[in-house]
Structure 1
Amino acid sequence: MAVSTTVPLCQPCGYHEAFRVELQVKRPLMPVHLSPEQVGLEMLCLCGQLDLLVRAQMQQFQEQLGQGCSPEESDTFQAQGSEILDQMLQCLEHLPKPMPQLEDYLDMVGLSVMFPRVEVFLIQGSPVDMLERPPMDEYFFHIAKLNQLLVLSQQLEEDIRHLGSHKYIAHQLSLVLSSFRGIQAFSEIKKDIEANFKQMKQSLL
């Protein structure tokens, strides 16, 4: 049986590059204006992210060398590093014109001193380890210790309010004590806890 045909209603046009739309997946839908102070804060956060990313890649380099392999950047590092750099450039667009170069801005606000790995990465285009530990390494370690102490203290406070699991309180308190190491501000509190630890442990038996 023959199939009936009709004349097409219209002829589709060929694709023209003038109709191409550039995807902006990482940009906000609504325009956002940042003040210079907000730009500085955002750049501080992005430098911290990029610094941690470079440190993780350097650790991977060491593992590759230990296995007898040539160091090679991971696809994840390249993708995340490019994304962070793009976000940095987007932040600079909020500054008064003329927009400074990224390296010049980091020098101007002191971020290159705080994050030398980031500065070297921008110059070299690849992660490079530092001969001396940057000061921000100690800062991140200190913040991590404080966060650990906060979480343990909150859990201990919650268990004290509900003494159904009181047999674990002594163990949790010992974890809190271990978190005090290296934090000079809590040295006196640590001494008080150590002086009364045995008595407290006996009262919970």
Structure 2
Amino acid sequence: MAVSASDPLFHPCVYHEAFKVELQVKRPLMPIHLSPEQVGLDMLCLCGQLDLLIRAQTQQFQEQLEECCSPEESDSFQIQGSEILDQMLQCLEHLPKPMPQLEDYLDLIGLSAMFPRVEVFLIQGSPVEMLERPLMDDYFSHIAKLNQLLVLSQQLEEDINHLGSHKYIAHQLSVIYQVISSFRGIKMFSEIKKEIEANFKQLKQSLVAEAGCRHEPQLSAQYVSWILEMTQNISSAVMSLPEELTEDLHPALTFMAQFLS
């Protein structure tokens, strides 16, 4: 079968390299100006990101050595590390001229002492683990535990109030107990821990369904009231950050205070 064909209505133009554009995915769409205080706070965040990246890479080095392999930087480390360094340099552009060197600036505002891995990385160009544990290592783990405790408490409170079955409440309570136990020397958490220990066995037993019972297990009003009071106390304590919960946060809080005062 023959098919008639006509010439195209329009021929696309040949691409010319003069029309090439460079994508800046990591840069803001609109130009912004950061104050010196904002630069300092942004640098704190970027140093934290780079420090965690270096820690992950040094851990990978250790695993490679244990497998009798030569340590090699991962592609993801090189890509992400370069992106963070680029963001750091972008931050420096907002400072008064002449723009300081990155290493000098971090040393000037105290971030080199807080993140020694970052300082060594900038000097040597490769990730190195520290012989002594930097103070900021405790910051990240402490923040993570506080966040976990807050989320678990809020979830338990939500489930107590709205779920038709309390079947898994004992399990949720045991998870909260484990997180609380990871905090050392916190008086308010020690008291909550003792309360859980005193009530847990009977609470768990009360949720065991009798043979042939078709009803979903429900806690008594007494236990519901106790759990709600406990979760509210935990949430209030974590969100208010009393002094005894901020000891491991002290380096970061002290640093931020100089820019927020």
Q: The TM-score by the shorter chain falls in which range?
A: 0.7 to 0.9
Which region of structure 1 is more displaced relative to structure 2, 24-33 or 165-174? 24-33
SS at match of 1:151: helix
Q: C-alpha separation between the residues in 2 aligned to 1:85 and 1:41?
A: 15
Output aligned runs, 1:73-152, within 5 Å: 73-152=73-152
CA pair 136-29 structure 1, distance change in 2 beyond 3 A:
same
RMSD: 2.1
2:199 counterpart residue number: 196
Which region of structure 1 is more displaced relative to structure 2, 133-142 or 184-193? 184-193
**TM norm structure 2:** 0.69
Residue by residue over 1:123-180, the C-alpha shift from the partner in whole angstroms, topping out at 9 and shown as x without a partner, is 0000011001111111111111111112211221111012423011011101100000
Higher RCO (C-alpha 8 Å, min separation 6): 2
State, as a whole percentage, how many aligned pairs show the same letter. 81
Give the C-alpha shift of residue 15 in structure 1.
6.0
Give the C-alpha shift of residue 196 in structure 1.
2.1
Q: C-alpha separation between the residues in 2 aligned to 1:106 and 1:124?
A: 15
1:5 counterpart residue number: none
CA pair 164-15 structure 1, distance change in 2 beyond 3 A:
closer
SS at match of 1:91: helix
Gaps of 5+ in 2: 1-13, 209-261
Q: C-alpha separation between the residues in 2 aligned to 1:98 and 1:190?
A: 56
Aligned AA for 2:43? M
Give the C-alpha shift of residue 31 in structure 1.
0.7
1:48 counterpart residue number: 48
Q: C-alpha separation between the residues in 2 aligned to 1:22 and 1:168?
A: 54
Q: C-alpha separation between the residues in 2 aligned to 1:53 and 1:47?
A: 10
Aligned AA for 2:65? L
SS at match of 1:164: coil
2:223 counterpart residue number: none
Which region of structure 1 is more displaced relative to structure 2, 142-151 or 20-29? 20-29
SS at match of 1:126: coil
Aligned AA for 1:172? Q
Q: C-alpha separation between the residues in 1 aligned to 2:69 and 2:135?
A: 31
SS at match of 2:126: coil
Deviation >3 Å, runs of 4+: 19-23, 202-205
Give the C-alpha shift of residue 22 in structure 1.
4.8
Aligned AA for 1:134? P
Gaps of 5+ in 1: 1-11
Give the C-alpha shift of residue 46 in structure 1.
0.5
Q: Tell me whether 1:36 sits opposite 2:39 in the alignment.
A: no
1:8 counterpart residue number: none
Aligned AA for 2:150? L
**TM norm structure 1:** 0.86
Q: C-alpha separation between the residues in 1 aligned to 2:115 and 2:103?
A: 12
Give the C-alpha shift of residue 20 in structure 1.
6.7
